[in-house]
Structure 1
Amino acid sequence: MNTIVTPGQKLCKDTEYISSEGTYVHKGSIYSSVLGFSHTIKRNINTDNNNETTTTSSSGSSSSIPSEYNNSTSEDKRDYIVVLKEKEPGIVPEIGNVVTVQVLRINPRLASCAILCVGTKALKETFNGVIRVQDVRATEIDKVEIYKSFRPGDIVSAEVISLGDSRSYYLSTAKNELGVVFAQSVVGATMIPVSWNQMQCPKTKTKEYRKVAKMDIAGTDQDDDNDTENGHENEKEDNNNESDQE
């Protein structure tokens, strides 16, 4: 049979097959209970008093189904019908992918992260990544300080630039649209971006340094969309002066 079926789809009469994994019986018919592929499994009648009956599927593979699962008897000549969920291939980050990560810890050389999503797809298992100090931004790399770019707990949009070593992917936030997209202040409030390198707590009004991702906003002027970090140098100086005054 080996055809794709959806939940609630009628498969056959219960006089033709024995309902098994991924199926159910209703009013004399067998229906699929999951999204997957239907298979018929031919029974080899076992006259011994074993707990399991060895079966062979239509694809030629063998499986074991406990006898109490289907309540069949050796006089029952029907084969099994099952619906098996197809395993989705695991998503693995690749070079050029934009990923969403959570910062776990920082040191002067890098930020260690857990990769949570590739594009818009959440990962079933997390991968390790690092954002090195030289990959934080594209300009004035020698002036970058990790603790002024990221903090543990931050959610960051980054690009995979290398498969790295056997332990971690190498990530970059050098593009304007990459960087911190979510951060919390010390009082637990969601911080608001106020510039490309600062976020502010809405409760305490305290500002903290971050490498902020530039978000696309509807109605933004074309000139603003073409801004780069070089174009924010005056803003950076103003922010530094403001911090000195505080």
Structure 2
Amino acid sequence: MGPAAKAKEGEVVTPGEVVGKGTEAVAGKGCYLSPHNNTIYASMTGRFTRSPSPPGSTENRHVLEVVSDKACGVVPEPGSVVLARVTKVMARMASVDIMCVGPKSVKEKFSGIIRQQDVRATEIDKVDMHLSFRPGDIVRAAVLSLGDARAYYLSTAKNELGVVSAESIAGATMVPITWTEMQCPLTGQIEPRKVAKVT
């Protein structure tokens, strides 16, 4: 594995993208320096800029910044409530694509991960991911943090968070009947889910 490609000036970058090396530049607004590999990463979505060090500065390195670009659209941040579509369910986590942050839809693709310990607040060790979510489900979740590999860590561990819309095996939109079950209106079949409380 070679070093990650650096972003070019004027490009739109997303959190976690490499913008420079600590040996050549200083991390300015919207960037951070990772000490273990001396690499500068973007900490927000925006347009990447490189500017000379300010006059009188003892540093002779360029300053790297990421400037918020309104055209980039809304970006998930820790504490945001998002709507996301489940793409894959595994034993210890579910992968999702974030579609909306609050009431606004996202313009770019953001990935999220709901880990087993973040599904619900009680009996965490008994959570079965396959009984909580299915691919295609729409979930309401809270952003915990920017995780690894550019995927946000999400949580459904509150009553109002969880599956808000799901399709049954028969292809109908299911109705929540308890906080752990949804029912198909066509067949009457009940399927398990981590259901969001209807507010």
Superposition TM-score tier, normalisation by shorter sequence: 0.5 to 0.7
Alignment partner, residue 162 of structure 1: 145
The one-letter code of the counterpart of 1:102 is R
Alignment partner, residue 171 of structure 2: 188
Counterpart CA distance in 1 for 2:73 and 2:100 is 12
TM-score of the superposed pair, with normalisation by structure 2? 0.64
Matches within 5 A, 1:47-58: none
Any idea what SS the aligned residue of 2:130 has?
A: helix
Alignment partner, residue 175 of structure 1: 158
Counterpart CA distance in 2 for 1:90 and 1:213 is 26
> How far apart are 1:87 and its partner, in Å?
5.8
Alignment partner, residue 78 of structure 2: 95
Any idea what SS the aligned residue of 1:88 has?
A: helix
Which structure features the higher share of helix residues? Answer: 1
Q: Does 1:151 align with 2:134?
A: yes
Alignment partner, residue 5 of structure 2: none
Task: Call closer, same or farther: CA 1:138–1:187 in 2, change over 3 Å.
Answer: same
Q: Does 1:135 align with 2:98?
A: no
The one-letter code of the counterpart of 1:143 is K
Counterpart CA distance in 1 for 2:70 and 2:183 is 44
Alignment partner, residue 117 of structure 1: 100
Aligned residues with identical type, % of pairs: 62
Counterpart CA distance in 2 for 1:174 and 1:87 is 31
The one-letter code of the counterpart of 1:91 is V
The one-letter code of the counterpart of 1:141 is I
> How far apart are 1:166 and its partner, in Å?
2.9
Any idea what SS the aligned residue of 2:106 has?
A: strand
The one-letter code of the counterpart of 1:152 is P
The one-letter code of the counterpart of 1:201 is C
Matches within 5 A, 1:79-90: 88-90=71-73
Unaligned runs of 5+ in 1: 1-85, 217-246
Q: Does 1:105 align with 2:88?
A: yes
Matches within 5 A, 1:180-219: 180-216=163-199
The one-letter code of the counterpart of 2:92 is R
Counterpart CA distance in 2 for 1:117 and 1:203 is 29
> How far apart are 1:89 and its partner, in Å?
4.4
Counterpart CA distance in 2 for 1:87 and 1:170 is 24
Task: Call closer, same or farther: CA 1:87–1:143 in 2, change over 3 Å.
Answer: closer
Counterpart CA distance in 1 for 2:145 and 2:171 is 34
Counterpart CA distance in 1 for 2:75 and 2:148 is 15
Counterpart CA distance in 1 for 2:80 and 2:178 is 26
Between 1 and 2, higher relative CO (CA 8 Å, sep ≥ 6) is seen in: 2
Give yes or no for contact 2:72–2:107 (8 Å, CA) kept in 1: no
C-alpha distance after superposition, 1:150-185 (max 9, x if no partner):
000000000000111133100000000000000000
Alignment partner, residue 22 of structure 2: none
Aligned residues between the structures? 131
Counterpart CA distance in 1 for 2:149 and 2:130 is 26
